[in-house]
């Protein structure tokens, strides 16, 4: 095994073991069991059972996935599926855990390979299995050739979420080409009312929730863009017809991969439902020399019988405890500091005096982290030039960044800086020196987007250059935070310096080096936090989340649009990492005018940031902001790391929305309520809270807005959940926020 493969395997194991878990001194994974026949494997945790087994033909089949079975319930070992007709061969109907393309498989394979002699038939059979501490490892092998596959399963005891991955290893004497590799196939039995929810979008319109019935045929969600993408996010949920927000079964999963990916959901003619998640097979080829191996990303899959709300709460919890980085010595991810970001205020026109003036104003309202965005380096005065030249622009900062950073620190704030390491403007010294460093095909045009090209991070020299540059930047300056941007999709995905047969390794090797770069920077600079930004939310997935501390949800900072984006985001990902800014009105995206209070309350649903031009604020704006920032600091732990209840969803053009976050210790709950517009003197419905202790007494306190007269100031959890409260809201773009302390 080469270093490269070993590292990939290590990364995969780290993800399975949980980077956070490791920091916590060992994550709590459920102990898998194998029955006395040695044919049935079970993982049980947090009210969930996942079971699979091996049949007499050595095929690995799914047996069960859903609410917990009793410990003594015996599951019969699977049997080979009989032929249904000559047109539906058994392999097509078998609920394989990891099907190879071969033996007549015409449904989606998890693994497809090509051998040098043109053979493309791969029939995987069980070789052996072992319970390796808290994971179960299954080895499969082709019936005649030395292609070995190792499947790893680990279930988080606290959430019942299963992490699955696969490693394919070439032990044949010649090369093999991996044409397609998934982390897992997951099967559900026939039902006629399955529905699938997933997230699509576009720039400034990410995390749009889609739901559609699953009927025979395939649904594909994917990115072919080299990065996770705005267009679709690698998360899905499968529910039943009767599933609602707080009741009914939901099976969900997300792929931890920040490159091109695909999730393929297909229902066969007999109703079997299969989900296959992994590298996008489109334009994929990964040639393995003898002894080499390729690891898949990790697919994280969970189940809840408590509807979409239950599913997202359990997934958020899993992300906080198993995925997100935890600072050394801490037991949970760090709370997001309140930040200020200069982008919408100044665009590229950053300089020492202007940034200092903004920093002073930001500090006066309680900002904790001041972030200077694009424009501070090279010949960067627009998006046309300078990207790649990470030297401080001396016209804008005659004495370097030190005086600004010193002032920011003296104001009691941490300093953060924008970078976009993976990109280059052709009009840059870096590109002029290294035109071959970008992803391209020899002799072909190089398509630009935002006047930039993508550096080929798969190349060792590019990796080393970026590591050196970023390491130096962090070593030379008191930088506490990097906003790591990525502003375009790939084009012409060539890597001319390697043999033609190896060029498509790019899809894996690039992301692999991105992860390695982030991990190495974190190791060298453990106090520096990183935000994953990609023109907004174009790179949000469990892979990047393991190596970054927060994500930039969307460039769309309109507070009303954001309610929908944040609702979609919360279906898959925790508010603990979801950044939201208060910016100017009218908003640059849609010219919508909203009050400063409304903008604050919308942004307070996640990690609060301010991106407005503070030079335009009046004294009363500063006073309001100061009060709301202080109010936010008193509730942020609950908002970021509590249990989220989507009481009234903004989906489907709803005029109203409301969320409740309940602290893990149950002592605080935070309610946000929003109204789009009053019409026809309609009344406001009662908002019934959830997740409180019915017996505990909670005091109600308004952060903004008010409840209708005669609302009690104290009442039991039973009262707030049963009776509820009515929020007084009249007008357009109204918002209110309350704290309940118990």
Q: Which residues are catalytic?
A: 485, 555
| CA nearest neighbour of 675 among 705, 644, 645 | 705
Residue 12, annotated ligand binder?
no
* Under rule CB under 6 A, residue 558 binds ligand DGJ: no
CA distance 345 to 689: 38
Residue 484, annotated ligand binder?
yes
Beta strands in 60-175, from DSSP E residues, in sequence order: 60-67, 111-114, 124-132, 135-142, 147-155, 162-170
- From 437, 552, 733, 738, residue interacting with ligand DGJ (rule: CB under 6 A): 552
CA distance 260 to 284: 9
Quick note: the x/- pattern for ligand DGJ over 610-649, rule CB under 6 A, is: ----------------------------------------
Measured from the CB atom, the residue of 44 and 555 that comes closer to ligand DGJ is 555
CA distance 198 to 212: 9
| CA nearest neighbour of 313 among 576, 75, 94 | 576
Measured from the CB atom, the residue of 50 and 340 that comes closer to ligand DGJ is 340
Tokens 């392999």 sit on residue: 91
Beta strands in 273-405, from DSSP E residues, in sequence order: 273-279, 286-288, 293-295, 298-304, 339-341, 369-372
Map residue 653 onto helix, strand or coil: helix
Q: What is the smallest separation between the CB atom of 567 and ligand DGJ, expressed in angstroms?
A: 20
* Under rule CB under 6 A, residue 386 binds ligand DGJ: no
Q: What is the smallest separation between the CB atom of 609 and ligand DGJ, expressed in angstroms?
A: 10
CA distance 545 to 228: 12
Measured from the CB atom, the residue of 205 and 536 that comes closer to ligand DGJ is 536
Instruction: Show the 3-state SS of 423-457.
Output: EECCCCHHHHHCHHHECCCCCCCCCCECCEEEECC
Map residue 404 onto helix, strand or coil: helix
DSSP string, 457-509: TTSHHHHHHHHHHHHHHHHHS---EEEE-------S---TTS-GGGGGGHHHH
CA distance 463 to 514: 8
Task: Label residue 374 exposed, middle or buried (CB < 10 Å: 0-12, 13-18, 19+).
Answer: buried
- How many CB atoms sit inside 10 A of residue 651's CB? 16
Residue 233, annotated ligand binder?
no
Residue 485, annotated ligand binder?
yes
CA distance 737 to 421: 39
- From 414, 531, 555, 561, residue interacting with ligand DGJ (rule: CB under 6 A): 555
- Contact set for ligand DGJ, span 4-43 (CB under 6 A): none
Q: What is the chain's alpha carbon radius of gyration, rounded to the nearest angstrom?
A: 26
Tokens 């995969």 sit on residue: 12
- From 485, 512, 541, 584, residue interacting with ligand DGJ (rule: CB under 6 A): 485
| CA nearest neighbour of 661 among 542, 574, 596 | 574
Count of residues for the chain? 742
Measured from the CB atom, the residue of 97 and 485 that comes closer to ligand DGJ is 485
Measured from the CB atom, the residue of 161 and 401 that comes closer to ligand DGJ is 401
- Contact set for ligand DGJ, span 520-549 (CB under 6 A): 533, 535-536
Q: What is the smallest separation between the CB atom of 256 and ligand DGJ, expressed in angstroms?
A: 22
- Contact set for ligand DGJ, span 130-189 (CB under 6 A): none
Residue 44, annotated ligand binder?
no
Measured from the CB atom, the residue of 418 and 569 that comes closer to ligand DGJ is 418
Q: What is the smallest separation between the CB atom of 538 and ligand DGJ, expressed in angstroms?
A: 8
Residue 533, annotated ligand binder?
yes
- From 268, 373, 512, 531, residue interacting with ligand DGJ (rule: CB under 6 A): 373
Quick note: the x/- pattern for ligand DGJ over 305-344, rule CB under 6 A, is: --------------------------------------x-
- Contact set for ligand DGJ, span 416-435 (CB under 6 A): 418
Q: What is the smallest separation between the CB atom of 343 and ligand DGJ, expressed in angstroms?
A: 4
| CA nearest neighbour of 557 among 288, 266, 341 | 341
Q: What is the smallest separation between the CB atom of 536 and ligand DGJ, expressed in angstroms?
A: 5
- How many CB atoms sit inside 10 A of residue 236's CB? 25
Map residue 592 onto helix, strand or coil: coil
Measured from the CB atom, the residue of 78 and 375 that comes closer to ligand DGJ is 375
Measured from the CB atom, the residue of 75 and 347 that comes closer to ligand DGJ is 347
Q: Which residue is nearest to ligand DGJ (CB)?
A: 374
Measured from the CB atom, the residue of 463 and 552 that comes closer to ligand DGJ is 552
* Under rule CB under 6 A, residue 487 binds ligand DGJ: yes
Residue 487, annotated ligand binder?
yes
Residue 361, annotated ligand binder?
no
Beta strands in 517-637, from DSSP E residues, in sequence order: 529-532, 550-552, 578-582, 607-610
Q: What is the smallest separation between the CB atom of 421 and ligand DGJ, expressed in angstroms?
A: 13
Q: What is the smallest separation between the CB atom of 420 and ligand DGJ, expressed in angstroms?
A: 7
CA distance 258 to 223: 10
Q: How many residues in the shown chain lie near ligand DGJ by CB under 6 A? A: 11
461 Cβ contact partners less than 8 Å away, ≥ 6 residues apart: 437
Q: What is the smallest separation between the CB atom of 344 and ligand DGJ, expressed in angstroms?
A: 8
Q: What is the smallest separation between the CB atom of 513 and ligand DGJ, expressed in angstroms?
A: 22
Measured from the CB atom, the residue of 203 and 622 that comes closer to ligand DGJ is 203
Residue 374, annotated ligand binder?
yes
CA distance 53 to 69: 16
Sequence ranges of the binding site for substrate: 203, 373-374, 450, 483-487, 533, 555
Residues that bind ligand DGJ (CB under 6 A): 343, 373-374, 418, 485, 487, 533, 535-536, 552, 555
Sequence ranges of the binding site: 203, 373-374, 450, 483-487, 533, 555
């Amino acid at each position: 095994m080469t270093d490269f493969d070993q590292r990939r395997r290590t990364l995969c194991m780290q993800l399975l073991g949980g980077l956070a878990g490791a920091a916590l001194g060992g994550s709590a994974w459920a102990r898998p069991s194998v029955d006395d026949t040695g044919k049935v494997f079970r993982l049980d945790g947090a009210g969930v059972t996942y079971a699979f087994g091996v049949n007499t033909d050595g095929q690995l089949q799914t047996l069960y996935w859903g609410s917990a079975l009793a410990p003594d319930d015996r599951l019969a070992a699977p049997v080979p599926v009989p032929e249904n007709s000559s047109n539906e061969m058994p392999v097509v109907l078998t609920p394989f855990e990891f099907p190879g393309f071969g033996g007549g498989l015409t449904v989606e394979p998890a693994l497809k390979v090509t051998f040098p002699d043109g053979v493309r038939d791969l029939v995987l059979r069980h070789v052996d299995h072992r319970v390796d501490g808290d994971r179960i490892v299954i080895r499969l092998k082709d019936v005649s050739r030395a292609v070995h596959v190792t499947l790893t399963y680990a279930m988080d005891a606290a959430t019942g979420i299963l992490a699955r991955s696969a490693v394919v290893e070439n032990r044949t004497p010649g090369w093999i080409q991996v044409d397609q590799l998934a982390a897992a196939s997951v099967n559900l039995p026939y039902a006629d009312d399955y529905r699938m929810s997933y997230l699509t979008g576009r720039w400034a319109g990410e995390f749009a929730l889609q739901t559609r019935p699953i009927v025979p045929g395939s649904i594909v969600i994917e990115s072919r863009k080299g990065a996770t993408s705005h267009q679709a996010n690698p998360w899905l949920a499968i529910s039943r017809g009767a599933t609602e927000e707080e009741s009914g079964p939901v099976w969900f999963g997300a792929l931890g991969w920040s490159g091109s990916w695909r999730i393929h959901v297909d229902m066969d003619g007999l109703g079997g439902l299969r989900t296959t998640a992994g590298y996008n097979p489109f334009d994929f080829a990964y040639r393995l020399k003898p002894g080499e191996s390729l690891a898949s990303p990790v697919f994280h899959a969970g189940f809840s019988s408590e509807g979409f709300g239950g599913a997202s709460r359990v997934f958020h919890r899993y992300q906080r405890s198993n995925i997100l980085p935890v600072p050394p010595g801490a037991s949970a991810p760090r709370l997001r500091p309140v930040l200020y970001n200069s982008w919408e205020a100044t665009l590229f026109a950053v300089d020492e005096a202007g940034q200092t003036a903004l920093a002073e104003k930001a500090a006066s309202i309680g900002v904790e982290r001041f972030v200077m965005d694009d424009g501070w380096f090279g010949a960067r005065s627009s998006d046309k030039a300078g990207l790649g030249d990470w030297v401080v622009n001396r016209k804008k900062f005659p004495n370097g960044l030190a005086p600004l950073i010193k002032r920011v620190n003296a104001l009691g704030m941490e300093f953060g800086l924008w970078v976009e390491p993976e990109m280059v403007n052709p009009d840059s010294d870096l590109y002029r020196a290294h035109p071959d460093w970008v992803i391209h095909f020899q002799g072909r045009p190089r398509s630009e987007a935002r006047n930039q090209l993508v550096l080929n991070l798969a190349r060792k020299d590019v990796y080393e250059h970026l590591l050196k540059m970023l390491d130096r930047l962090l070593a030379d300056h008191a930088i506490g935070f990097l906003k790591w941007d990525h502003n375009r999709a790939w084009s012409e995905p060539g890597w001319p310096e390697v043999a033609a047969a190896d060029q498509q390794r790019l899809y894996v090797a690039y992301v692999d080096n991105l992860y390695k770069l982030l991990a190495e920077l974190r190791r060298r600079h453990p106090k520096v936090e990183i935000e994953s930004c990609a023109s907004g939310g174009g790179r949000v997935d469990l892979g990047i989340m393991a190596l970054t501390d927060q994500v930039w949800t969307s460039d769309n900072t309109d507070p009303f649009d954001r309610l929908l984006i944040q609702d979609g985001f919360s279906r898959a990902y925790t508010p603990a990492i979801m950044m939201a800014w208060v910016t100017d009105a009218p908003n640059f995206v849609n010219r919508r005018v909203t009050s400063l209070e409304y903008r604050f309350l919308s942004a307070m649903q996640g990690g609060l940031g301010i991106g407005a031009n503070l030079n335009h604020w009046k004294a009363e704006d500063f006073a309001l902001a100061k009060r709301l920032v202080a109010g936010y600091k008193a509730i942020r732990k609950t908002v970021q790391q509590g249990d989220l209840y989507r009481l009234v969803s903004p989906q489907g053009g709803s005029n109203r929305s409301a969320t409740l976050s309940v602290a893990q210790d149950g002592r605080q709950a935070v309610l946000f309520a929003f109204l789009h517009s009053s019409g026809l003197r309609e009344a406001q419905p009662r908002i019934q809270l959830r997740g409180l202790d019915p017996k505990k007494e909670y005091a109600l306190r308004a952060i903004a807005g008010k409840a209708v007269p005669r609302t009690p100031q104290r009442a039991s959890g039973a009262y707030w959940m049963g009776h509820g409260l009515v929020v007084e809201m009249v007008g357009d773009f109204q918002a209110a926020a309350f704290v309940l302390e118990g």
